[in-house]
Structure 1
Amino acid sequence: MVTTPTDNPDDPALRAKPRPWHAFSYRDYRLLWGAMVTGSIVAWLRILGTAQWLLDETGSAVLVGLIGVVQLVVQVPALLWGGALADRMDRKRLMALANAITGATLLLLGLLNWQGLLTPPMIYLGIALTAASQMLANPARSALVPIVIPRPYLLLATSTDTASQNAAAIVGPLLFAAVAVSSGLSAAFLLGGVIALGSSVLPLLIRAKGVADGHADGPERSTLQQTTDGFRYVAKHPILPGLFLLDAGITTASFYREILPVLALGLFGAGASATGMLGAANSTGAIVGSFVALLLAGYRAKGMLVLYASFAYGFILFGFGTANNLWLGMLMIAALGAADAVTVAVRQTTVMLTTPDHMRGRAFALMILAAQTANNVGTIWVGAWAGSIGAGNTMLLGGAISVVATGLIWRIWRPIREFRSS
């Protein structure tokens, strides 16, 4: 007999105060978590491996930069398609197929490089395939979490996911460096392929159902129609548009991760070592913030929790922009990572709690799309302003915009203020 988590409030297990690691007590979640962590590590092996290969073989920073163009072209349609597929087919099989495509592609890149046959067009094709497959898997994986975890523990699960993804952002590059230096890029590609193929098996071991409830209700609709339905649903949702706009406004005004070298030079007159220290501090802070979110799992006013963390993020930007030494800057950017991790975990939990199962894949796809678009625009915005008014003033401007944007959402979006989880 297949057992699934219960949401029955009379269940004694749900009345007990959960420990921060309680999500791991659910077998299916452990499998989902394993697929997510290994997938994140594989993504870093792919990202760093392809960029390093292009730089080593061509010496052109422009060709390395084209990676972003290739990813942007394929990720948006793949993400929207993945959201629609996650609501109409078995999500476990969709994840398995996407991870298998990633694994096969990386194995092929590794073998071609080992034989000296790899070329830049092949690398770009591999980037396109793996970037698209990652986007196909993400909505399906997120939509499965509420199936394998009871509703009261969803914030525990999303916080654990956020912490684990940030940990993978540390482990992945370190693993790449160790393998690439000791055994070469072919070995890094092959290792990523083997891990991805192993990861493709994990979703198939999940016992919970993989097909969305209500997916067969109504007439058969095309993928385009399903995607349009998803846009309409999110647009009419009382909470999600406000949360997505809040994230987009703050991120556009202050996205700093992609231009840390600019901030390290502009704020502290430092180079690559400072860039690495700031990046490590930010990831560490994000992990700490995820554990803070774990401790707040029982806090019912989830909408206000997002607003509190967003206000904190804006005010911390003031501290980062005025930091006069690297150590203070590391403390501030760690705090930024912590505040951002709380908002990410709570935003994902809110989507899970307020979206019906047959719409969840598309809702997550649109959330990811909004976040990625804001990241790209934010990189351009922050880079342009840093070159115009200086890095410190850009962070101060971002802090002011973040505080004002949060205040406007708090004032205008009443459903966010009043949202309470059960």
Structure 2
Amino acid sequence: MPDTAAPAPPKRRILADLTPLRTSADYRRLWVGNTISWVGQAMTALAVSLQVYDITGSSFSVGLVGLCSLVPLVVFGLYGGAIADTVDRRKLGLYSAAGLWGLSCALAVAAFAGFHHVWFLYGVVALQAMCGALNSPARTAMIPRLLPPEQLPAANALNSLTTTSGTTVGPMLGGLLVGLWGYQAAYTIDAVAFTAALYAMWKLPPMRPGEGDQGPDGKRRRASVADGLRFLATRPNLRMTFFTDMCAMVLAHPRALFPAVAVVWYGGDAGTAGLLAAAPAVGALLGSVFSGWLGRIRRHGLAIALSVAAWGTAIAVFGLTRNLWLGLLFLGLAGAADTISMVFRGTMLQAATPDAMRGRLQGVFIVVVAGGPRLGDFLAGTVGDAFSPSVAIVGGGVACVVAVGLLVTRWRAFLQYDARDPRP
């Protein structure tokens, strides 16, 4: 007699779902390699900033490091996405990862040789940003080919864990290594650590372009950035993932005000500003660790809208507090909400985008992620100087919530997006 018992309900998880790491050896190697290399790259980023300041004694010169990375990220993020839709993504990921490894080696060799020149460091940072902008769309667009759709939320939560742990642990390790053994140690360890990412890319199967971008003659057309932007313009659900993220990162991004807030509100110093800057990252890290429940959510658009509104609310309440620990708590809650938004935004981009367009939309994603917070810094700093930090932070949080509300009122179908039937 056949078994007619109902299937067991999915296991309820609290901690991060490790299923993608267990079921796919390729994804496991990719994730481990990316996690190790991300820590190394974050460690090197701090070491470069410290070295530039050591050479020049100028905070302005240190600030130029960020500008040197921003322009290549924006330009090559879009271009790299188009390339990722045209060539074997494994080869693109492997070659760009080899470029990043070579640049880490160049920093280490220059440090051991006593070649301390700011122009050299600026050039390496710009080239690292270019290689990273080519590598990221290819690597991210590979994931839907390595995992089934139902595992994508768990994979994106694990990727978020990689990002937040790297940005938290990497700078601490970088500062420790530079203090103990100099820049040579930080750069050398980064170069050694990056071999894990190289190995992971080398072991992947070929990731050649798939079907879906042919011309009338049946031959594959050359992928272009313009085609990707035109595709995005006609896909409201995917477009909303970018709009909602910009609401949070541009309107309610108080990072530029942390030094002033640390002194004026809390009577603190640079250490207090460091705590304020670290709090969202700690919240994001905890959000990634306790992300097991996210796999049960099907209404991804609704989850994104609520989590971005939660970010804006937490930032606005932070702007009303004058107790340091309470302020850190709300910044941490904002970081956790951002993790939820990031997981579902990434999942929608991967699941609802045709394979032939995934690289280009990941390139747009890089531009938004790189440019949004920097625009937010400029807006927050401008409003903070013109009025006050309180007006900038509280007003920004409220504006974020209002903007998200207006967006979902205009495109209500976004709230109905169902992961079981992903529609772009």
Is this contact kept in 1: 2:160–2:288, CA < 8 A?
yes
Q: Is the 8 A contact 1:162 1:345 kept in 2?
A: yes
TM-fit CA distance, 1:103: 1.4
**Residue 264 and residue 291 in structure 1: after superposition, are their counterparts in 2 closer, same or farther (change >3 A)?**
same
Matched, 1:21 2:18: yes
1-structure distance, mates of 2:7, 2:36: 30
**CA-to-aligned-CA distance 1:369-405 (integer Å, 9 cap, x gap):** 1232211111100111122222222111011101111
Q: Deviations over 1:52-84 (max 9, x none)?
A: 111101112222121122212222221112101
Q: Deviations over 1:321-349 (max 9, x none)?
A: 11111100110100010111111111001
Q: 1:358 to 1:388 in 2, by over 3 A?
A: same
Question: Which residue does the alignment assign to 2:3?
Answer: none
- Matched-pair contact (CA < 8 Å) for 2:94–2:198: yes
CA–CA separation in structure 2 for the residues paired with 1:294 and 1:29: 18
Structure 2 counterpart of 1:334, one-letter code: G
| Structure 1 stretches of at least 4 aligned residues deviating more than 4 Å after TM superposition | 12-16, 219-223
Equivalent-residue separation in structure 2 for 1:387 and 1:216 (angstroms): 49
Within 5 Å, give how 1:135-146 maps onto structure 2.
Answer: 135-146=133-144
**Correspondence for 1:297 among 287, 295, 298:** 295
Give, in whole Å, the separation in 2 of the partners of 1:203 and 1:376.
31
Aligned with 2:156 (options 140, 155, 158): 158
Give the Cα–Cα distance (whole angstroms) in 2 for the partners of residues 198 and 84 of structure 1: 26
Root-mean-square deviation (Å): 2.0
Q: Secondary structure at the match of 1:133?
A: helix
Aligned pair partner of 2:211 in 191, 214, 220: 214
Match of 1:112 in 2: 110
Per mean C-alpha deviation after superposition, the further-off stretch among 42-51 and 120-129 is: 42-51
Report if the CA contact (8 A) 1:266-1:390 is conserved: no
1:81 matched residue in structure 2: 79
Q: CA deviation at 1:33?
A: 0.7
SS of the counterpart of 1:420?
coil
Residue aligned with 1:117, SS: coil
TM-score (norm 1): 0.91
Amino acid aligned to 1:172 = G
- Give the aligned partner of residue 395 of structure 1: 393
Shift of 1:239: 0.6
Are 2:312 and 2:398, in contact at CA under 8 Å, matched by a contact in 1? yes
Q: Distance in 2 between matches of 1:371 and 1:173?
A: 20
**2:379 counterpart residue number:** 381
Q: In 2, Cα distance between the equivalents of 1:229 and 1:196?
A: 34
Q: Take 2:172 and 2:37, find their aligned partners in 1: how far apart are those partners?
A: 15
Distance 1:216 1:346 in 2: 26
Kept in 1: contact 2:12–2:292 (CA 8 A): no
Distance in 1 between residues matched to 2:311 and 2:156, nearest whole Å: 19
Q: Secondary structure at the match of 1:355?
A: coil
Q: 2:70 aligns with which of 72, 78, 83?
A: 72
> CA deviation digits over 1:276-314, x for unaligned, max 9?
222332212102222454312111111101111122122
Is residue 284 from structure 1 mapped to residue 278 from structure 2 by the alignment? Answer: no
| 1:334-373 equivalence runs, <5 A | 334-373=332-371
The offset of 1:215, in angstroms, is 6.5
Structure 1: which amino acid aligns with 2:39? I
Give per-residue Cα distances to partners, 1:165-213, cap 9 Å, x unaligned: 1111121112212211111002211221222233212112124x41232
Match of 1:126 in 2: 124
Kindly indicate whether the alpha-carbon contact (under 8 Å) linking 1:266 and 1:391 is maintained by their aligned counterparts in 2. Answer: no
Q: Is the 8 A contact 1:22 1:156 kept in 2?
A: yes
Q: Compute the TM-score of the two structures, normalised by the length of structure 2.
A: 0.91
Q: How many pairs align?
A: 408
1:216–1:300 Cα change, 3 Å: closer
Q: Tell me the distance in 1 between the aligned counterparts of 2:132 and 2:12.
A: 32
**Paired residue for 1:326?**
324
More displaced stretch, 147-156 vs 384-393: 384-393
Q: Out of 265, 271, 284, which is 1:273 matched to?
A: 271
Determine the C-alpha separation between the residues in 1 that align with 2:264 and 2:211. Answer: 53
- Structure 1 residue 135 displacement after superposition: 1.0
Helix, strand or coil at the partner of 1:211: coil
Unaligned residue ranges in structure 1 (runs of 5+): 1-11
Is the CA contact (8 Å cut-off) linking 2:12 and 2:293 kept in structure 1?
no
